[in-house]
Chain A
Amino acid sequence: MDVMAPLMFGGLIVFLILGFPVAFSLSAVGLFFGFLSIELGFFGPQYLGNLPLRVFGILANDLLLAIPFFTLMGAILERCGLAEDLLEGTGQLFGKVPGGLAYAVILVGAVLGAITGTVAASVIAMGMISLPIMMRYGYDMRIATGVIAASGTITQVIPPSLVLIVLGDQLGKSVGDMYAGAIGPSILQVLLFIAFIAAVSIFAPHKVPPLPDEALTMRGWPLIWRVMKGMVPSVVLIFLVLGTIFLGLATPTEAGAMGAVGAGVLAWMNGRFTWDLIWQATQNTARITAMVIFILIGATVFSLVFQGVDGAIWIEHLLAKLPGGQVGFLIFSQVFIFFLAFFLDFFEIAFIIIPLLAPVAAKLGIDLVWFGVLVCVNMQTSFMHPPFGFALFYLRGIAPPTVKSSDIYWGAVPWVGLQLILVAIVIFWPESVTYWIDKGTGVDPSTVKIEVPLPDLPEDDAPPVFR
Chain B
Amino acid sequence: APALAQGMPEVRWRCASSFPKSLDTIYGAGDHVAKRVAALTEGRFQIRMFAAGELVPGLAVADAVQAGTVECAHTASYYFVGKDPTFAFDGAMPFGFNMRQMNAWLQAGGGRDLLRDFFAGYNLVSLPAGNTGAQMGGWFRKEVRTPDDLKGLKFRIGGFAGNVLQKLGVVPQQIAGGDIYPSLEKGTIDAAEWVGPYDDEKLGLNRVAPFYYYPGWWEGSLNLSFYVSKPQWDALPPLYKEVLESACRDSTVETMAKYDVQNPQALRRMVAAGSQLRAFPREVLQACYRAAFELYDETAARNPNFKRVYEPWKAFRETQYQWFRVAENTFDNFSYFMHAQEQQQRR
Check whether chain A touches chain B (CB < 8 angstroms).
yes
Using a CB–CB cutoff of 8 Å, the interface residues on chain A facing chain B are 46-50, 53-54, 56-57, 60-63, 65, 117, 160, 162, 165-166, 169-177, 179, 245-253, 304, 307, 312, 351-352, 355, 438, 440-441, 443-450, 452-457, 464
B55 and A304 within 8 A (CB): yes
A450 and B176 within 8 A (CB): no
**Known contacts A57-B53, A445-B265; is-contact A452 B279 (Cβ 8 Å):** yes
Q: How far is the CA of A456 from the CA of B70 in the complex (A)?
A: 49
Chain A positions within 8 Å of B54 at CB level? 307, 312, 351-352
Stretch at the interface among B17-25, B33-41, B128-136, B306-314: B17-25
Q: How far is the CA of A450 from the CA of B336 in the complex (A)?
A: 13
Stretch at the interface among B253-261, B268-276, B285-293: B268-276
Q: Which of B21, B201, B326 has the most CB of A within 10 A?
A: B21
Chain A residue at minimal CB-CB distance from B343: A449
15 further interface pairs, Cβ-Cβ under 8 Å (given A50-B56, A248-B188, A454-B336): A47-B70, A53-B56, A57-B57, A63-B178, A165-B177, A170-B20, A173-B202, A174-B204, A176-B181, A251-B175, A307-B54, A441-B272, A446-B268, A455-B332, A457-B334
Question: B57 CB to closest chain A CB, in angstroms?
Answer: 3
**Known contacts A351-B51, A456-B333; is-contact A172 B178 (Cβ 8 Å):** no
**Known contacts A307-B55, A351-B54; is-contact A49 B332 (Cβ 8 Å):** no
A441 and B273 within 8 A (CB): yes
Q: How far is the CA of A255 from the CA of B270 in the complex (A)?
A: 31
Q: What are some 9 contacts across the A-B interface (CB < 8 A)?
A: A54-B60, A166-B178, A175-B181, A177-B204, A179-B181, A443-B273, A446-B268, A454-B341, A457-B333
Question: B17 CB to closest chain A CB, in angstroms?
Answer: 12
Q: How far is the CA of A245 from the CA of B185 in the complex (A)?
A: 10
B268 and A248 within 8 A (CB): no
Question: A391 CB to closest chain B CB, in angstroms?
Answer: 20
Cβ contact of B188, chosen from A61, A251, A455, cutoff 8 A: A251
Q: How far is the CA of A253 from the CA of B179 in the complex (A)?
A: 7
Say whether chain A's binding surface is mostly helix, strand, loop, or mixed: helix
Q: How far is the CA of A440 from the CA of B269 in the complex (A)?
A: 10
Chain B positions within 8 Å of A304 at CB level? 55
Question: B168 CB to closest chain A CB, in angstroms?
Answer: 22
Chain B positions within 8 Å of A351 at CB level? 51, 53-54
A165 and B187 within 8 A (CB): no
Chain B positions within 8 Å of A56 at CB level? 57, 60
Q: Which of A46, A65, A174, A246 has the most CB of B within 10 A?
A: A174
A60 and B178 within 8 A (CB): no
Chain B positions within 8 Å of A443 at CB level? 272-273
Chain A positions within 8 Å of B272 at CB level? 440-441, 443-445, 447-448
Q: How far is the CA of A253 from the CA of B178 in the complex (A)?
A: 9
A175 and B203 within 8 A (CB): yes
B69 close to A (CB within 8 Å) = yes
B 44-59 binary contact with A (CB < 8 Å = 1; else 0): 0000001101111100
B57 and A450 within 8 A (CB): no
Chain A residue at minimal CB-CB distance from B188: A248
Chain B positions within 8 Å of A117 at CB level? 178
B317 close to A (CB within 8 Å) = no
Q: How far is the CA of A252 from the CA of B189 in the complex (A)?
A: 12
**Known contacts A351-B54, A453-B279, A454-B340; is-contact A62 B176 (Cβ 8 Å):** yes
Say whether chain B's binding surface is mostly helix, strand, loop, or mixed: helix
Question: B48 CB to closest chain A CB, in angstroms?
Answer: 9
Chain A positions within 8 Å of B204 at CB level? 173-177
Chain A residue at minimal CB-CB distance from B58: A57
Q: How far is the CA of A177 from the CA of B202 in the complex (A)?
A: 10
Question: B158 CB to closest chain A CB, in angstroms?
Answer: 13
Residues in B161-219 with C-beta less than 8 Å from chain A: 175-179, 181-183, 185-188, 201-204, 207-208, 214
**Known contacts A251-B182, A355-B51, A454-B337; is-contact A172 B268 (Cβ 8 Å):** no
Cβ contact of A49, chosen from B14, B69, B201, B271, cutoff 8 A: B69
Q: How far is the CA of A457 from the CA of B337 in the complex (A)?
A: 8
Question: B322 CB to closest chain A CB, in angstroms?
Answer: 11
Chain A positions within 8 Å of B69 at CB level? 46-50, 53
Chain A positions within 8 Å of B188 at CB level? 245, 248-251
B277 close to A (CB within 8 Å) = yes
Chain A residue at minimal CB-CB distance from B201: A174
Chain A positions within 8 Å of B271 at CB level? 445, 448, 450
B120 close to A (CB within 8 Å) = no
Question: B216 CB to closest chain A CB, in angstroms?
Answer: 15
Chain B positions within 8 Å of A162 at CB level? 178
Chain B positions within 8 Å of A247 at CB level? 186
Chain A positions within 8 Å of B332 at CB level? 455
B267 close to A (CB within 8 Å) = yes
Chain A positions within 8 Å of B51 at CB level? 351, 355
Chain A residue at minimal CB-CB distance from B68: A46
Chain A positions within 8 Å of B269 at CB level? 445
B295 close to A (CB within 8 Å) = no
